[in-house]
Amino acid sequence: MYIVSRMILGVGILFAIISGSALIGELSHPKERAVMTSLFNSSYFIGSILAASIAIGTVEIKGDWSWRLPSLLQIVPSVMQICTVLYAPTSLCIPVPPLWNVPGY
């Protein structure tokens, strides 16, 4: 069960990283594109450090919860993103493409 869930999460993060970096590259202003993509990449490593510290902190828990808790905590950012995209106003979640990306302007 654990190995199957890790494989599903591994495939999901692949799609999230590729689509997220492409979206940031397309929607950010050309002058800020390098800073935005750098922040995206560094956020991935900050999340990795946070996940490793949670995993180390749950080692002492007796029973199955020592591995279930870190796995369940991975759901929280994904649920926040899904709720933001689906239920928040469109102008806040999915911005309209900027004019410099529209042909003819």
Q: What pLDDT score does 26 carry?
A: 84
Positions of the chain with pLDDT lower than 50, given as ranges: none
Quote the distance between the C-alpha of residue 5 and its chain's center.
17
Q: At what angle do helices 75-87 and 65-73 cross, to 10 degrees?
A: 30
| Token pair 């495939």 in the structure block, residue | 11
**What distances in angstroms separate CA 37 from CA 31, 32, 71, 98, one per listed residue?**
12, 9, 27, 17
Predicted TM-score (pTM) above 0.75: no
